Every structure is written in C-alpha cells, then in structure tokens.
Amino acid sequence: KLLFAPVMAHFIMNFRDMNKWVIRFDNNDNEYKAVINGGTIEDETHSRLFLEDWRKLYIDDKLNWKASDVIYWLFISQKMECFRKFGIDFMRLCVDDGGDPILRYAHSESGETCGNIFFSKISPIADQIANKLGISLRYFGTFHLNLENGHVWKSEGIFENIELSPDYYKKMAALSKRMFDIFKGIHDSFYEYLSSYVINGSNPVFLESLPVG
C-alpha cells in the first residue's frame, strides 16, 4: 500500500534543498522571517525520513532497478515530468512573493494544509504496516503526521491579526491557490501511479536502450 514511493521520490528528496536554499530567508531580522525559517529547519528533515522508510520497506529489492534506471526515472522519464515541474513551480512561488515573509507564509501555510490532509489519510495505513512488520515508519506514519498539524511550524498567534489591503489579499490568495494547484497535481499523480502499477503488482520497467527526450 505504500509502494507508490517511487513516484514521490523526486519531489520529496528535493524538499530538503528547497527548504534550505529557497524558502529560508538569509536572516531572521523580523519575527515573521524567524517563524518561516524555523519551519524550514524542521521541514528539511523530511527527505531523510522518506529515505529511511524506503529502506525499511525494501523498495530497492522490490524495484530491482539499476542505477541508470533510477537516474532515468528521476530526471528524464515522462512519468516523472510532472514532478520535475511541480518542484520548479513550488520554488517559483518564493520568487513571486518578492521575499515578503507574510506572502511566503500564505503559500507555505497552504502547503502545510495539503500535507496534513495527505498524512492524515496515509499514516493509519502506514502504522498498520509498521505494526505488522515490527518496524517504525517515521515518514509515512504517525511520527510525521504529528509534525504536520496543518500550519507552518510554531506560527500560531503570529500572523492571524495582520490587516491586509484588498490588493495585498489578492496577491496572497493567488499564491495560495497556486500552491493548492501544485498539491492537487501531486496527489493526482500519486493516484495515477497507484492505478498504473501498485494495484496490479507491477513496477515501471525500462528498455535496455533508454529513450532520450
């Protein structure tokens, strides 16, 4: 039930660098930036948790891919094209917010909401699998869900009382909608992979001569 992890790999393993190098501000010169930066420090651990669960679920053995297959899957394959774009779109939000921490909070909060919805659904399944196998699954299970409360980390009480002009509100809403659109695409693509491979017990396979482009 968790064997859709290969389709998650590109976006999730980029999540560390996106938080460390893109979302995070260079300094904490106001309270809003400090909150955003604190959240990125927590979020950048998620890539490591994902890899930890990948190993515990023996996904390498189940896929039986060569190293060149992995490189092709992540960086060239059509199946992962959407995830490569999702990552770019995600980072572009931090360009289009102009370095404004209030606008960055808005689209980050939207992303946290999407994460909470996803993990609230998947973590009970992961916990059942973990109990059956006698392991802990910290990325897919309750451990991660407890970090994904639907809000930017430790942001409660910081942003709620800010008064917004109509134009500022429009900017905020537009950025938030773009984040929701990104995650809708991500979750739809998870489902497409499940339908194409996991449900019928198959994996993506690659020709000896890999197509380019």
pLDDT in tens, 20-70: 999 999 998 899 899 899 889 888 889 999 999 999 999 999 999 999 999
Q: List the chain domain ranges.
A: 5-198
Other beta carbons less than 10 A from residue 87's beta carbon:
21
Write down the pLDDT at residue 147. Answer: 78
Instruction: Flag whether pLDDT at 209 surpasses 70.
Output: no
Q: How far is C-alpha 114 from the geometric centre of its chain's CA atoms?
A: 9
Instruction: Flag whether pLDDT at 132 surpasses 60.
Output: yes
- Of 213, 179, 193, the closest CA to residue 18 belongs to 179
Q: How much of the chain exceeds pLDDT 90, in percent?
A: 73
Question: Quick one: the chain helix, strand, coil %, rounded to 5?
Answer: 70, 0, 30
Write down the pLDDT at residue 179. Answer: 97
Give the pTM.
Answer: 0.90
pLDDT average, residue stretch 7-14: 95
